[in-house]
Amino acid sequence: MRPCNRWLDIVADQLPVLPVWQAKQYAVVRDHVYGVENCLDASTVFRFWEVSKE
């Protein structure tokens, strides 16, 4: 067994849940809604005050 595989086995035995922080964000809006592209960034804080509509 390769050392990396052994390490993965140890982690799997000791850590029942491994949270994954995914930086991808998606937003779906209707026509005539603007500013959503300014709301999404790596901080994962959605800035609702940037959204407007016609």
The CA distance from 35 to 40, in Å, is 10
pLDDT of residue 44: 74
The residue type of 50 is E
pLDDT of residue 10: 83
Kindly report, residue by residue over 15-49, the tens digit of the pLDDT.
766 666 666 777 888 888 998 888 887 777 788 88
Confidence of residue 11 (pLDDT cuts 50, 70, 90): confident
What count of Cα atoms within 13 Å lies in the side-chain half-sphere of residue 10? 7
pTM (whole model) above 0.75 = no
Q: Which two tokens stand for residue 54?
A: 């016609």
* Domain edges within the chain: 19-54
